Each structure stands twice: as structure tokens, then as C-alpha cells.
């Protein structure tokens, strides 16, 4: 528990990019590739949040329908 809190509050800045991506995006001529990689990262980030939101909404609807049936 202490390690998790410590690592959360005192995180180090790291370069989290694989060597292949870094080599492909190096230089100013690869602007379109860099935009494509960034868009891909955004899409991959959005999907889990979207799934959690949908599941949360379905659970909320289920509780609301149970409440109406009880009344």
C-alpha cells in the first residue's frame, strides 16, 4: 500500500515510447505519421472509459427499474 501511494505521488518522468515508434517518427518530415500515432493512442485510451461508462449506465438503469417496481 505504501509503495503504491509513494509511486503515485512521486512518479518519475519517463519516455514511454518504443524504439520502433521513435525511429519512425524522428524528424520533421513525419508529421502525418506522428498525428496518426497520436490519434491511435487516443482511440485506444477512449475505449476502456467508454466501456466503463456504458456498464455504469446499465447498472444505474437496472437499479432505477427495480426501484420503480418496488413502489
Domains of the chain, residue spans: 31-71
pLDDT at 34: 78
**pLDDT 10s digit of each residue in the chain, 71 long?**
666 666 666 665 655 566 666 676 777 777 888 788 888 888 888 999 999 999 999 999 999 999 888 77
For residue 38, CA distances in Å to 21, 25, 34, 41, 44 come to: 11, 11, 6, 5, 10
pLDDT for the residue numbered 4: 67
pLDDT score of 49: 94
pTM value surpassing 0.75: no
Amino acid at each position: 500500500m505504501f509503495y503504491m501511494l509513494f509511486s503515485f505521488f512521486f512518479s518519475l518522468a519517463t519516455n514511454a515510447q518504443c524504439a520502433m515508434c521513435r525511429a519512425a517518427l524522428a524528424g520533421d518530415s513525419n508529421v502525418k505519421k506522428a498525428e496518426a500515432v497520436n490519434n491511435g493512442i487516443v482511440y485506444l485510451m477512449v475505449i476502456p472509459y467508454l466501456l466503463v461508462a456504458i456498464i455504469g449506465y446499465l447498472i444505474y438503469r437496472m437499479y432505477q427499474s427495480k426501484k420503480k417496481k418496488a413502489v
